[in-house]
């Protein structure tokens, strides 16, 4: 199947209440256009530099998500480029984004990425540091906290990811009532999005199942 068919199959499967972010990292801009022409409204990229180049020539209107780890020295470029930055995981980064957003008079929508499985190789704030980071983002005038994001461990038996999704859903539900615009629970990728949705994800980030395997150059 081609990109359009793959996209539409997943789009139909998810229904209209879940945001499907088509992850185009390591694919070129033609592939991006193909997905958008098939109905993709949300595009996810991992790296600022790669995204700049592609969005420059895209010539389509789309909601742009940054889903990869961000270094503070790229904060300025990131706020210029992205509608939603999903990977805020430290006060240091939040401060840099707030400053960058202020400098262009933008209120930047962000998610906090939580390392709920405590994987040392992964980014994301640890649970014990979450409250302090939320407080920091709340107090940052040019950031607006829209929800939470997580990347599940890459386990062979995908069912073993379920408790992590459940835990995130619980956190999200606890935080949500007291907040405005706290709407997005971003979890689930190609191998685990079905389970993530069962556990309450309303944003999924899917690359491989739409575009096929990535080739790294
Ligand atoms: C690459 C990536 C995805 C998409 O992964 P697939 O397995 O190709 O669907 C989703 N989220 C993040 C943070 C990623 O880096």
Label residue 139 exposed, middle or buried (CB < 10 Å: 0-12, 13-18, 19+). Answer: exposed
Distance CA(177)–CA(211), nearest Å, equals 37
Ligand 1 probe mutation, 46, 205, 215, 216, most atoms within 8 A of CB? 205
Domain ranges of the chain: 3-211
With a cut of 90, say whether residue 1 has pLDDT above it.
no
pLDDT tens sequence across 23-42? 999 999 999 999 999 999 99
Taking the CA atoms of residue 25, residue 27, residue 33 and residue 36 in that order, the dihedral angle to the nearest 10 degrees is: -40
Q: How confident is the model at residue 99 (pLDDT cuts 50, 70, 90)?
A: very high
Cβ(207) – ligand 1 distance below 6 Å: yes
In order, the DSSP letters of 24-62 are -TTS-HHHHHHHHHTT--EEEES-HHHHHHHHHTT-S--
pLDDT tier at 70 (50, 70, 90 boundaries)? very high
Ligand 1 atom with the smallest distance to the CA of 214 is 8
Residue 217 has pLDDT above 90, yes or no: no
Q: Does the beta carbon of 205 sit less than 6 angstroms from any atom of ligand 1?
A: yes
Residue-wise pLDDT for 148-202, tens only, equals 999 999 999 999 999 999 999 999 999 999 999 999 999 999 999 999 999 999 9
Kindly state if the Cβ of 190 falls inside 6 Å of ligand 1: yes
- SS3 for 158? helix
Out of 3.20.20.105, 3.40.50.620, 3.40.50.300, 3.20.20.10, the CATH code matching 3-211 is 3.20.20.10
Q: Mean of the pLDDT values across residues 60-86?
A: 97
Q: Helices marked H in the chain — which ranges?
A: 3-14, 29-37, 48-56, 75-81, 91-103, 127-139, 162-175, 193-198, 208-211
Q: Tell me the percentage of the chain whose pLDDT exceeds 70.
A: 99
| 139 alpha carbon – ligand 1 mean position (Å) | 30
């Amino acid at each position: 199947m081609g990109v359009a068919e793959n996209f539409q199959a997943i789009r139909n499967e998810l229904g209209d209440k879940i945001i499907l972010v088509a992850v185009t990292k390591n694919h070129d801009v033609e592939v991006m256009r193909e997905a958008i022409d098939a109905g993709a409204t949300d595009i996810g990229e991992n790296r600022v530099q790669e995204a700049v180049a592609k969005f420059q020539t895209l010539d389509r209107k789309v909601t742009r998500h940054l889903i990869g780890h961000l270094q503070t020295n790229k904060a300025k470029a990131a706020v210029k480029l992205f509608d939603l930055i999903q990977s805020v995981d430290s006060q240091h980064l939040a401060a840099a984004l707030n400053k960058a957003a202020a400098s262009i008079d933008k209120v930047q929508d962000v998610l906090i990425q939580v390392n709920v499985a405590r994987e040392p190789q992964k980014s994301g704030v640890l649970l014990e540091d979450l409250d302090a980071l939320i407080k920091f983002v709340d107090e940052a005038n040019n950031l607006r906290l829209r929800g939470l994001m997580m990347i599940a461990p890459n386990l062979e038996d995908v069912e073993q990811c379920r408790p992590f999704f459940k835990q995130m859903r619980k956190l999200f539900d606890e935080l949500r009532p007291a907040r405005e615009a706290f709407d997005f629970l971003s979890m689930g990728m190609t191998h685990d999005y079905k389970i993530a949705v069962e556990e309450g994800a309303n944003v999924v980030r899917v690359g491989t199942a739409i575009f096929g395997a990535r080739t790294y150059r």
